[in-house]
Amino acid sequence: MINWDDEHIRNACRHISSAAEVVRPKRRIVVLTDDADNRILECAIESGSELIVTGDRHPLKLKTYEGSLL
């Protein structure tokens, strides 16, 4: 667990939000057993992502999905 104070957390959130893009997928997919992993894939597809970085082993088993590398 990261032991950051509230100010450090706020600064990190500001930094991330300045580079982030809000994505609202137009279609639902069911490819993986974990529904949250499917939501990540939906966002990657909608945003045209070329790469998804994750330490979650379930999506990594796919290796690629609709042009996105895992």
Closest of 52, 54, 34 to residue 43, by C-alpha: 52
pLDDT digits (tens, 9 = 90+) for 11-31: 999 999 999 888 999 999 998
At residue 35, the pLDDT reads 92
Q: What is the pTM of this model?
A: 0.67
Mark the ranges of the chain whose per-residue pLDDT is less than 70.
Answer: 1, 68-70
Element (H, E) at 19: helix 6-19
Domain range list for the chain = 6-69
